[in-house]
Chains A and B, each alone.
Chain A
Amino acid sequence: MRNLYITDLKRILKDKLFLIAAILAGVFALINPLLNKILFSALELEDFLDGMMNAKSMFFGAFLPGDNLGLVMPILISIIVCKDFSHGTVRNKIISGKSRGVIFLSHFLSSASVMCVLMLAHALLTLAFSLCFFPYQSEKFTMSDFGYLLLSLLFEMIVYLAIAAIVTFIATLSKNMGICILLYLALSFGLSIIGSVFMTAGAFLDKSSSWFGIVEFINALNFFTSSLIGSGVTYTAKDVLYILLSPILTIAGSLALGIHLFSRKDLK
C-alpha cells in the first residue's frame, strides 16, 4: 500500500496539471481579496459593509467546493487519476500483484492528500492576502477563536476527503476523462444550486416551523455549500453531527462501493 501511495503521489506531483492547480491556488488567493477590495472601494461600500466583509469569511469562502479552486481542483485531480487508466499504467500495478482494493485506496489517498494540502495552502494564502485589506473579524481575536479555526479546518479537510472519495469513485469507474469532468461538474453545480435554493428557502421560513428544521437539516447535509463550517464562533454537538454525517457517509459509501465495483470490473 505504501509503495503504491508513494507512486501515485509522485505521479500527481509530476503532472503538469498539478502545477496548474498550484498556480491557480496562488492566483485565486490573491485575486479574490483584491477584487473585493477594489469593488468595495469603487462602490464606496466600505463603511456600509464594515464588519460584514472580513478575512475570516474570505478564508472559509476559499474552501467552497462550488467556487474557484474548490471547483477546478477536483476536476484536475480526477483527470490525473483517469490518466492511470488511459495510459494503461494501472495494468502495471495489477500485474505486479497489487490488489484492486489497494489500488483504489491508493488513488483515493493520493488524491485526498494533494487536494487537502493545496486547498489548505490556497485558504491560508487567501487569509494572508485578505488580512492586507480587511480585519480578521470585527471582534478581537481570542484563543477560543483560534480553537474554532483549527476545528473548522479539520471539518474542511473531512469535506475534501469526501470530495476526493467522490472524484476517485467517478474517475476509477468511468476511466474516461470527459465523462469524469461532466459527472463532477453536474454533481458540483447540482448540489450547489440545490444548496442555494434551500438556503434561500430557509431565510424565508419561520424558525419555529417544522419545515425550517427539515430545510436546516438538508442544508447541513449538503457539504458542497458547507453552511455550518466557519459561519459562527462555536460549534454545538448538533452542528458537529450535521457537519460530519454526510462527508463520513460519502467517504464510507464511495470507498466500499468503489472497491466492490472496481474489483469486479474488466480492464483493457
Chain B
Amino acid sequence: MEYVLVAEGLTKSYQKNRVLNGVTMHIKKGDIYGFVGENGSGKTTVIRLVCGLIHADEGEFTLFGVKGNSPDIRQARARVGAIVEAPSIYMNLSAQDNLKMQCSILGIKDEEKCKETLAKVGLFDLWESKKHAGDFSLGMRQRLGIAMALLGEPEFIILDEPMNGLDPAGIVEIRELILRLNRESGITFLISSHILTELALVATRYGIISKGKILQEITAEQLEQVCKHTTMIKATDNEALASRLCALCGEDAVTVTEGGVCVEGDVNLNQIFGEIIASGIQITAVNTYHSSIEDYYLSLVGGGKHA
C-alpha cells in the first residue's frame, strides 16, 4: 500500500509546553483522513509540521516517500495543497487577483484554470467582481482558500477546519467537492475538524489525537463496527424477557434497566422477536440506538461515557 504521509514519533515544544508528544500516523493514498481531537490537542501543529511551517524537535515524517529533513521535501510539498487554520488570502485583492497571485507563485500561465477552480468551489460569480477578499464572508474566504489550494492540482490536500464559518449549504457543497475530488481525481485528504458528525460523512479513516499523542487510527468500517448498536425492548414481564434474551444473545450483551432490557451489538430482531413471542412474552415497546463517532471519541479520550 502506498502511503502519502507517514509520521513517526513527532514531538514539538513551544518553550516548556510540549504540544506534540510522539505523534505517529499513517495516511494511505486515496484516504480521506479525518483528524479528530480537542482544542489544543496538536492537530494544527502536526499540519504545520507537514507543511514545513515549523520544525519538529524529534521524530520524522515522510511525504510521498520523501523524508521531511531531506532537501527533496520541497518537491514533495509541491504536490500538496493546504489551508492551515485560516485561508491564506490577500485581503486587499479580489478573488480573481488572489487566484492569479497563486498562479504566479506556482508558475501557472493558464487563466482559464483560475475560472474553472473558482467555479468548482461555487464562487464563479466573483470572477468579474472587484470586491476585496477582506470584504468577503468567512465562508467565501474559506472557499476561496480551498480554490487556491486546488490550483496546483495537488495529489494531497490538507484542510484544517474547512467547515468553519460555512453556512449549511456551504458545508454540503464543500463536502460534495471533497468526495468528488477524492472519487474522480483520487486526491488524498487530511481533514481536521471539530464537527465530528460532519467528518463522519466523508472520512474513510480517522486519526484520533489527544494531548499531543495519536490515541488510535481506525478505518470508517472499523469505527462502524465498534460504534455499538443498542436495542431497548420493553415487555409486560421484563425479568422473563431478560432471561430469554440472555439465552439468545449471551449474558454480557444484556442489561436490565428501569426502562426495559438493553441488548448491545447487532442482533437479528426478526429472530429474537419470534423467539420471545413464542415464549409467551408480550413486547410493549422497541427502540434501537446507534452510538456515534462523538460517543466513541469521548469514550476514547475519557471525556464522557461510551454509550
Minimum CB distance partner of A90 in chain B:
B88
Q: Which of A7, A10, A96, A268 contacts B53 (CB 8 A)?
A: A268
B74 contacts which chain A residues (CB < 8 A)? 97-99
B52/A95 in contact, CB under 8 A: yes
Known: A92-B148, A95-B81, A99-B74. A3 touches B105 (CB 8 A): yes
Q: How far is the CA of A12 from the CA of B283 in the complex (A)?
A: 76
B90/A95 in contact, CB under 8 A: no
B82/A95 in contact, CB under 8 A: yes
Q: How far is the CA of A94 from the CA of B55 in the complex (A)?
A: 13
Minimum CB distance partner of B105 in chain A:
A7
B104/A92 in contact, CB under 8 A: no
B100 CB to nearest chain A CB (Å): 8
B101 contacts which chain A residues (CB < 8 A)? 7, 10-11, 89
Give the contact stretch, choosing among B2-10, B91-99, B211-219, B242-250.
B91-99
B78/A97 in contact, CB under 8 A: yes
B53/A266 in contact, CB under 8 A: yes
Minimum CB distance partner of B55 in chain A:
A266
A89 contacts which chain B residues (CB < 8 A)? 88-90, 101
Minimum CB distance partner of B148 in chain A:
A92
Residues 274-298 of B, flagged 1 when their CB comes within 8 A of A and 0 if not, give: 0000000000000000000000000
Q: How far is the CA of A116 from the CA of B148 in the complex (A)?
A: 32
- Is B263 interfacial (CB 8 A cutoff)? no
- For chain A, the count of residues having a C-beta within 8 Å of the partner chain is 27
B89/A96 in contact, CB under 8 A: no
- Is B51 interfacial (CB 8 A cutoff)? yes
A16 contacts which chain B residues (CB < 8 A)? 92
A10/B104 in contact, CB under 8 A: yes
- Is B164 interfacial (CB 8 A cutoff)? no
Minimum CB distance partner of B72 in chain A:
A97
A14/B88 in contact, CB under 8 A: no
The A/B interface has a contact count, at CB < 8 Å, of 80
Minimum CB distance partner of B80 in chain A:
A95
Q: How far is the CA of A10 from the CA of B98 in the complex (A)?
A: 11
B86 contacts which chain A residues (CB < 8 A)? 88
Q: How far is the CA of A88 from the CA of B85 in the complex (A)?
A: 10
B285 CB to nearest chain A CB (Å): 55
Residues 222-258 of A, flagged 1 when their CB comes within 8 A of B and 0 if not, give: 0000000000000000000000000000000000000
Residues 139-152 of B, flagged 1 when their CB comes within 8 A of A and 0 if not, give: 00000000010001
- Is B75 interfacial (CB 8 A cutoff)? yes
Known: A14-B93, A87-B90. A94 touches B51 (CB 8 A): yes
B265 CB to nearest chain A CB (Å): 45
- Is B172 interfacial (CB 8 A cutoff)? no
Minimum CB distance partner of B51 in chain A:
A95
A160-196 at interface with B (beta carbon < 8 Å) = none
Residues 21-52 of B, flagged 1 when their CB comes within 8 A of A and 0 if not, give: 00000000000000000000000000010011
A21-37 at interface with B (beta carbon < 8 Å) = none
A6 contacts which chain B residues (CB < 8 A)? 104
Q: How far is the CA of A268 from the CA of B51 in the complex (A)?
A: 11
B88/A91 in contact, CB under 8 A: yes
- Is A71 interfacial (CB 8 A cutoff)? no
A86 CB to nearest chain B CB (Å): 9
Q: Which of A14, A15, A96 contacts B105 (CB 8 A)?
A: A96
Q: How far is the CA of A264 from the CA of B53 in the complex (A)?
A: 10
B95-119 at interface with A (beta carbon < 8 Å) = 97, 101-102, 104-107
- Is A49 interfacial (CB 8 A cutoff)? no
- Is B84 interfacial (CB 8 A cutoff)? yes
B55/A264 in contact, CB under 8 A: yes
A267 CB to nearest chain B CB (Å): 4
A176 CB to nearest chain B CB (Å): 17
- Is B54 interfacial (CB 8 A cutoff)? yes
B105/A91 in contact, CB under 8 A: no
With A88-B88, A96-B77 known, 9 other A-B pairs at CB within 8 A are A11-B90, A88-B85, A89-B101, A94-B52, A94-B53, A96-B105, A97-B75, A98-B105, A267-B53
Q: List 7 A-B contacts (CB under 8 A).
A: A83-B92, A87-B91, A92-B88, A96-B106, A97-B78, A98-B74, A268-B85
